[in-house]
Chains A and B, each alone.
Chain A
Amino acid sequence: MTAEVAPVRAPGAVIEARDVTKDYRMPGGAVRALRGVSLDVEPNRCLAILGPSGCGKSTLLHVLGGVDVPTAGAVTILGRRTSAMSDAALAALRLRHIGFVFQRFFLLPMLTAEENVLLPMIEAGVPAGERRARARALLARVGLAARLRHRPGELSGGEMQRVAIARALANRPRILLADEPTGELDEATGREIGTLLRELSAEGLAVVVVTHNPELAALAGRQVRMKDGVIT
């Protein structure tokens, strides 16, 4: 099956998905989560992927972010085709060029906010002095300059998501992928997070937000809708 909506090919696209199909083997047989999806992700833009639960939004985000590879079709991230890359090369690509924000934050509870933000930079080998300065600047950027030493258990949901965004930005990625970033937040906090993501895209980042929240999607410059594994 091919995409129902042909993508507009963007000359500077950082991610290109072409006829992407993704199947999952399940006990009852294969389940097709994506059916020939084609999509471009561009810098300086915020793209919202909308759709009901189970329509394949998160699967598409994972494939676009290189945490999963398509069963068929091709995903090219910054000019490199993911299905041709080794697991280590994909990990390196994600580490240096892609930031992830998750619905459940996935902050490490035993680390402080600052240490959580430091983590990707330590992995990337950023010098100690530079990474500490960068972590503090990022936490200040998301309004948490006074919460550096706090652990996730001492932060509100909105604050935890801000820490997660700071962590996603730690290695100065070109792409930010957010999976239901406001799913566990109240309306007002969700709006703040949406505004922050839009600001980041305005600063040059390619932002992709998966959400079923129309209000958050409305903040994005571009929206695509999904249903049953296809972009409608």
Chain B
Amino acid sequence: MAALSFLAWRTLRRNPVRTALVILGLGVTGALLLDMTMLSGGLQASLGQLLSRLGFAIRVVPKGTLPFSGDAQIPDGDGLAAAIASRPGVAAAVPVLATNVYVRRGGAAFASFAVGVPRGGTGVYGMLAGRDLPGGAADDPEGDGGPIPIVVNENMVRLDGVRIGDTVVVAGAPARGVTGPSGAVRARVTGVADFYVDLATQRSMALRTGDLRRVRAMAPGGASLILVRVSDPARAGGIAAWIGAREPRVDALTIGRFIARAGARLTYFNQFAAILSTLSLLVSFLLVTSIVTLSLGERLGEIAMLRALGMTRFRVGALVVLEGVILSALSLPGAFALGLGLSGPLDAILRGAPGVPESLHFFTFGPGAAARTAAMLLVTGAAGGVYPAAVAVRLGIAPTLHAEVQS
């Protein structure tokens, strides 16, 4: 095979400009293929990385939903969380209540996503500055009459000028006098946190569950989501099965199931990527087939000579297929450089779409995407060499030599 590779390589070098142009063309189609491979499943991969980073192996949600995807609540979420927390292998089960609230500060009012957690230090968000929510029981419906503690995200700091120590009003309605099932409480900003899945300009805050229920006049007990941290990730599947059996009105999603469910809602990205990948492979295939067929047509006499000297049909065919493979292989560095260079701006365009969390990426590069792209390009190169190889294999030695002399 080394001898054939050497011969194929030297053959391609006979026309360096033509070969270089084909490699450039394959590099461009390969770049598109890489980007589409990164896009196909890229969001799920990014989501997987994010979920793994947060440290919760199971997310318990109302049946058929995804976290924070609507107003549905788990009935008696607090009770279910307590039951889960008592299971062997469970390190923590955090009931989270999520809804929208309004923040009034000075004369301004703006909407904010609000996460109600039992206490600080749950890992639902990551502290960046200041103090977290206080620990211990906070479901005191009466409170002490002072401002409730809240933790806000950076967008609120950046866009609304909210600072640690500021006092704001958190309300269930946008303005005074607006009727709604809500109250309004004074709140003091104790810290700034990263809420992991914020949108580009989304304001978010965390407050204690009891405080949030008071603002939104919610009945106690319900939860939007229960986050479960396990001591041994290998046991996550078993614990999730137990939760599903205990409470049929919920789905206990391991990270894998969560990604699969999210992926099922993102099939249009996969379809888009599949169509463009197919086109890219088709163009690559046609490029390789055209150039190798053209090259073969220019050296039929040499091929007949190789056969006459004793090279078998199989090896002649392999020689031609190898030319296609080498062309594809040589295009890989350019394809990867261009593809990675393009993926950044493309990712920025898609992430600029409304409703996309800032920490998620559409184009995710990893060994899997690289290996799939390289394998597809090499196989396409080989496939592109099949037709000219078939021509070479079927070549009659004597008629070809005769025709070469006659020409």
In the docked arrangement, what's the CA distance between A100 and B308, Å?
7
Q: Is B107 an interface residue (CB 8 A)?
A: no
Tell me, rounded to whole Å, the shortest Cβ–Cβ distance linking A38 to chain B: 20
Binds A, one of B85-93, B138-146, B269-277, B398-406: B398-406
Chain A residue contacts of B399, Cβ below 8 A: 24
Contacts A104-B405, A108-B302 hold; do A95 and B14 have CB atoms under 8 A apart? no
B310 touches A124 (CB 8 A): yes
Q: Does B307 contact A (CB under 8 A)?
A: yes
Decide if B397 is an interface residue (CB 8 Å cutoff).
yes
State in angstroms the CA–CA spacing of A120 and B311 once bound together: 8
Closest chain B residue to A125, Cβ basis = B3
Report the bound CA distance from A96 to B398 in whole Å: 19
Contact yes or no, B307 A91, CB < 8 A: yes
Which residues of the other chain, A, contact B397 by a CB distance below 8 angstroms? Answer: 62, 67-68
- Tell me if B52 is interfacial: C-beta within 8 Å of chain A: no
A21 beta carbon closer than 8 Å to chain B = no
| A96 contacts B14, C-beta separation under 8 Å | no
Dominant SS at the B interface? helix
Evaluate contact between A67 and B308: CB separation under 8 angstroms. Answer: yes
CA distance A179 to B406 in the complex (A): 13
Write out the residue numbers on chain A whose beta carbons fall within 8 Å of the beta carbon of B99: none
**Minimum distance in angstroms from A86 CB to a CB of chain B:** 10
With known contacts A67-B397, A110-B11, A96–B310 Cβ distance under 8 A = yes
Complex formed: what's the CA distance from A171 to B310 in Å? 11
Among residues of B, the one whose C-beta sits closest to the C-beta of A99 is B309
Given A58-B405, A108-B302, A111-B10, are A65 and B309 also a contact pair (CB < 8 Å)?
no
Taking the closest CB of chain B, its distance from the CB of A160, in whole angstroms, is 13
**CB proximity of A147 to chain B, nearest CB, Å:** 18
Asked whether any CB of chain B lies closer than 8 Å to the CB of A103, the reply is yes
Binary CB contact string for chain B from 274 to 311 against chain A (1 if under 8 A, 0 otherwise):
00000000000000000000000000011011111111
Q: Find the B residue at minimum CB distance from A119.
A: B309
Write out the residue numbers on chain B whose beta carbons fall within 8 Å of the beta carbon of A111. Answer: 10
Residue pair B312, A120 in contact (C-beta under 8 Å): no
Mask for B162-177, Cβ within 8 A of A = 1, else 0? 0000000000000000
Q: Contact check: which of A88, A92, A122, A171 meets B3 at CB < 8 Å?
A: A122
B401 to chain A, nearest CB (A): 7
Partner of B405, one of A87, A110, A122, A180: A180
Is residue B313 within 8 Å, beta carbon to beta carbon, of the partner chain? yes
- Give min CB distance, A105 to chain B, whole Å: 9
Q: What residues of A have a CB within 8 angstroms of the CB of B313 in the complex?
A: 87-88, 91
B305 near A106 with CB under 8 A, answer: yes
List, in ascending order, chain A residues with CB within 8 A of B311's CB.
91, 95, 123
**With contacts A67-B401, A68-B398, A122-B3 known, what are 18 further pairs, Cβ within 8 A?**
A58-B401, A62-B397, A62-B401, A65-B308, A88-B314, A91-B307, A94-B308, A95-B310, A98-B310, A106-B302, A110-B14, A111-B10, A119-B309, A120-B309, A123-B3, A123-B311, A123-B315, A180-B405
B interface residue numbers (CB < 8 A to A)? 3, 7, 10-11, 13-14, 301-302, 304-315, 396-399, 401-402, 404-405
The 4 closest A-B pairs by CB, nearest first: A95-B310, A106-B305, A62-B398, A68-B398
| Interchain residue pairs with CB less than 8 A apart (21) | A67-B398, A67-B401, A68-B396, A91-B310, A91-B312, A95-B311, A100-B305, A100-B309, A102-B305, A106-B305, A109-B14, A110-B11, A119-B306, A119-B309, A120-B310, A123-B311, A123-B315, A124-B310, A179-B401, A179-B405, A180-B405
The chain A residues found within 8 Å of chain B, CB to CB, are: 24, 58-59, 62, 65, 67-68, 87-88, 91-96, 98, 100, 102-104, 106, 108-111, 119-120, 122-124, 167, 171, 179-180
